[in-house]
Structure 1
């Protein structure tokens, strides 16, 4: 009897062990799935003006590069554009640089749950896909209409109207369904400058792949490429 009881106890222990292993495996699989889902880039935007690998909206074709990481809710990004935007476009137009604009979304928490940063970055891709030449004018117009932090941000209809103001129509569905929101989120969490790090600030600026900590005096931006 004692041996039989011991046998039953052993089988019970084995089944318990198997169950525990199965549960642990299930939890691990669930965590992996959730992590993959969180970083799944979803549908990438296409078009000649978009680098799908880096997420950059590419303007110009100069030998040297300027990469800017922006959030449309970021007031300092707006200040950067106001201070240096014309100089940067001059460098693009004279063939000195290629401008790579990375619209990311680190400030969604400042739009009262509307995820304005993500929606605005998504719209930037919608515009760049529809008309690459309109990407910079759209960015400029978005800054001109930039909402305050801790507001609800612009509505989708307002963003669509801004796009129409720079000549881009027919992107309503792309904007309202947030077609590239997952792509924006993935590129925000895994930028070329800080892969796997979600704490990159905006604006972050890189000259020929090297991040700079200080900006030159207004009127002297070209000195960064001499």
Structure 2
């Protein structure tokens, strides 16, 4: 009888230890899941009629065809693209031929002396889109006009806010920029940038016409009529 009782007590002890171990595993798993979800969370979403919070696109215009541009505001090639193709894209927007989807992304933070300029500039673009979607085009043009060179600190937040208000945004945009309100969103949307054919990493600018991603080396000759207009009409 005593041996049976002892055996029974030992069994309950083993069950208790097992249950406790399961609880610990669940707690640890929950902590890991939470940490991972926080790391990959898009954070605060830019609530604006112009912003697609699934893709990160800031829409300019409302034409039936689409041109998507994935740009880093510190990227000199993106600036060259803007100078060569920007006027044609704006004409197509004004003619209600296209919706221009601007995707501000950040892949060149490492080239801004620790200030994360690419992320800050992209965040500022979303701040402007939320404050006044109509100011986005002017803000983007102004950013390129004042584009800092790679391996410099870039524009500070106060200057970004000044550029934004000069483009038509309200003074309220300043706190959004200095707070980095959409920093996590920029990071999450950058990861959604499509890869060009044959590429193993994100390249800027990346351009897509009606969903078809172009390849910089073979599809962008510098002639917007050939590279953009012809493809839209084809």
- Please give the range of the TM-score, normalised by the shorter of the 2 chains: 0.7 to 0.9
Determine the structure 1 residue equivalent to 2:101. 100
1:201 positional shift: 2.1
Q: Which structure ranks higher in relative contact order (CA pairs < 8 Å, sequence separation ≥ 6)? A: 1
Alignment of 1:13-24 (within 5 A): 24=25
Determine the structure 2 residue equivalent to 1:218. 223
Unaligned runs of 5+ in 1: 1-5
> Kindly tell me: are residues 35 and 218 of structure 1, through their superposed partners in 2, closer, same or farther at Cα, counting changes over 3 Å?
same
Correspondence for 1:189 among 175, 188, 191: 191
Query: Conserved in 1, the CA contact under 8 Å of 2:84 and 2:222?
Result: no
> Kindly tell me: are residues 202 and 31 of structure 1, through their superposed partners in 2, closer, same or farther at Cα, counting changes over 3 Å?
farther
The answer to whether residue 208 in structure 2 is matched with residue 206 in structure 1 is yes
Superposition TM-score, scaled by structure 1 size: 0.85
1:8 positional shift: 11
> Kindly tell me: are residues 15 and 75 of structure 1, through their superposed partners in 2, closer, same or farther at Cα, counting changes over 3 Å?
farther
RMSD: 2.6
1:212 positional shift: 0.8
Correspondence for 1:180 among 182, 185, 206: 182
State which drifts further: 14-23 or 150-159: 14-23
Superposition TM-score, scaled by structure 2 size: 0.82
SS in 1 for 2:128: helix
1:190 positional shift: 3.2
Q: Distance in 1 between matches of 2:222 and 2:82?
A: 14
Determine the structure 2 residue equivalent to 1:48. 49
1:142 positional shift: 0.5
Number of aligned residue pairs: 222
Determine the structure 1 residue equivalent to 2:3. none
Determine the structure 1 residue equivalent to 2:121. 120
Q: Distance in 2 between matches of 1:223 and 1:9?
A: 80
Query: Conserved in 1, the CA contact under 8 Å of 2:55 and 2:192?
Result: no
Q: Distance in 2 between matches of 1:60 and 1:152?
A: 33
SS in 1 for 2:83: helix
1:15 positional shift: 7.9
1:13 positional shift: 8.4
1:19 positional shift: 6.8
Determine the structure 2 residue equivalent to 1:33. 34
1:46 positional shift: 1.7
Deviations 1:123-144 (A, max 9, x none): 1011112221210110111011
1:34 positional shift: 2.0
